[in-house]
Chains A and B, each alone.
Chain A
Amino acid sequence: MKSLQARHALLADTGYQLTVLSQADAAGAHLPAFAHKLRETGLLPLRPTSLRVMQINVGKMCNQVCKHCHVDAGPDRTEIMTRETMQQCLAALAQSDIQVVDLTGGAPEMNPDFRWLVEQISALGRQTIVRCNLTIIVANKKYHDLPEFFAKHRVQVVSSLPHFSAARTDAQRGEGVFGRSIRALQMLNEVGYGVEGSGLQLDLVFNPSGAFLPGNQASLEREFKQRLLREHGIVFNNLLAITNLPVSRFLEYLLESGNYESYMEKLVAAYNPTAAENVMCRSTLSVSWDGLLYDCDFNQMLELPVAATAPQHIRDFDEAALNARAIVVNQHCFGCTAGAGSSCGGATT
């Protein structure tokens, strides 16, 4: 499987994705506008609460090509953050109260300056989260010491494992990914990750491997903990249940499998006003590989930048102007407000 971009697919064009999301269904009916739902809930315009997390997407290069990837990441993607842009992120951090830096990609570890960036964030006394796809740890000898490196900098590791069965995991993330992920999890456990009392946090992400919503997060966590311990001797801290948003390759999957309309209807029917109040974009700033600013990683991938009243690039970081902005919303946002709510930190209610 290749990225949408490498296949020159229509959906590689974000304008086309937004057109699909705003179209009527086969019967001519339009879904309610997300903005209209927010207005009903008294949340329009959607405003930030306080800036707590800077999520930096350090590049789209990845060793995996997952079917549901909203980044359209893969080995063929060359967009990568330079050290100069990282320095601009660090300068912004230094002048703000943001305590958490969430590093994502692609596989963030494939950025040649990844370790340097983590060291600098540590030196600023801020917490780093890395969204590690697990298989990168065993992909090449030069990554085998990542668990030790993460432990040294007390990095919080957040990793996708959509299922405790190999078949369901491989169906979403590629042939053989489950086995390699299990090996990587064991390596993380060996240095103390996920082990009680170690202070080294290892969280797993459950993404549905298909056109359905995640179930109860606590219940899934119990199930995952039992199965992974019994079958592979693996321990971890929290399971984060994240809803797949209709963006990029997951949107392609929905359209090609004939599930698009029913999935969108499911998201809309499950709209939860409490989840809407708690959406992560109210406390997050998303920075792209080229330093541009977005309200979240999904808006970034749809090329919907922060409102024009706010700075557009990290070099012009201005916390007050960002806190006063109106968050940009669109139809994909129904994914974060469905059911128990969804964010990079799992359920929000």
Chain B
Amino acid sequence: MEKSTYYNPADLAKFGNITEWQPEMGNKFFAYYAEVFKDGALSEREKSLIALAVAHAVQCPYCIDAYTSDSLQKGADEAQMMEAVHVAAAIKGGAALVHGVQMMNKAKELSM
């Protein structure tokens, strides 16, 4: 029976199917994607850890699943992976907090 959830782990393996309805754009996306994750100025492992952090920031369960496996595969350890998540958390938390300056500015503007 079909699971009645928005996210189904089995759908991750079907990501490639998006090319069926728009092959040209889909194929270009996957070619670009593959190019992005190649060893370059950043190592494959570093890129995988960045992807893991972004996955948490955008709260994508598919990406968290994929880049947890991928980080392990690329030789990252638990400490590195958790630090990557903290980087995401710090930036997300910081992004909220830095607007506190805007709040302070507005409050000062309105206050005696």
B73 touches A213 (CB 8 A): yes
| Known contacts A208-B72, A210-B72, A215 near B77 by CB under 8 Å | no
Verify if B69 is at the interface (C-beta below 8 Å from A): yes
How many chain B residues sit at the interface, stated as a range, is 10 to 19
- In the complex, A210 Cα to B75 Cα: how many Å? 11
CB neighbours (8 Å) of A208 from chain B are: 72-73
| Known contacts A222-B43, A223-B43, A223-B45, A216 near B77 by CB under 8 Å | no
| Known contacts A212-B69, A215-B44, A216-B44, A163 near B75 by CB under 8 Å | yes
- In the complex, A38 Cα to B77 Cα: how many Å? 35
- In the complex, A168 Cα to B80 Cα: how many Å? 12
| Cβ-closest chain B residue relative to A226 | B43
- In the complex, A210 Cα to B78 Cα: how many Å? 12
B77 touches A214 (CB 8 A): no
CB neighbours (8 Å) of A213 from chain B are: 73
Other-chain contact of A212, B72, B77, B79 (Cβ < 8 Å): B72
Verify if A78 is at the interface (C-beta below 8 Å from B): no
Interface residues of A in 148-169 (CB under 8 A from B): 163, 165, 167-168
| Cβ-closest chain B residue relative to A218 | B39
A219 touches B77 (CB 8 A): no
Interface residues of A in 181-236 (CB under 8 A from B): 206, 208, 210, 212-216, 218-220, 222-224
How many chain A residues sit at the interface, stated as a range, is 10 to 19
CB neighbours (8 Å) of A210 from chain B are: 72
A215 touches B69 (CB 8 A): no
- In the complex, A218 Cα to B39 Cα: how many Å? 10
| Known contacts A212-B69, A219-B44, A222-B43, A167 near B77 by CB under 8 Å | yes
- In the complex, A219 Cα to B43 Cα: how many Å? 7
A206 touches B75 (CB 8 A): yes
CB neighbours (8 Å) of A219 from chain B are: 39, 43-45, 74-75
Which among B39, B43, B74, B75 has the greatest number of chain A C-beta atoms within 10 A? B75
Other-chain contact of A216, B69, B74, B78 (Cβ < 8 Å): B74
| Known contacts A215-B45, A219-B43, A163 near B77 by CB under 8 Å | yes
Chain B nearest Cβ from A77, distance in angstroms:
30
Chain B nearest Cβ from A226, distance in angstroms:
10
B75 touches A220 (CB 8 A): yes
Interface residues of B in 15-55 (CB under 8 A from A): 39, 43-45
CB neighbours (8 Å) of A222 from chain B are: 43
B78 touches A167 (CB 8 A): yes
| 7 residue pairs from A and B, CB less than 8 Å apart | A165-B77, A208-B72, A215-B74, A216-B74, A219-B44, A223-B43, A269-B13
Contact surface of A with B, Cβ cutoff 8 Å: 163, 165, 167-168, 206, 208, 210, 212-216, 218-220, 222-224, 269
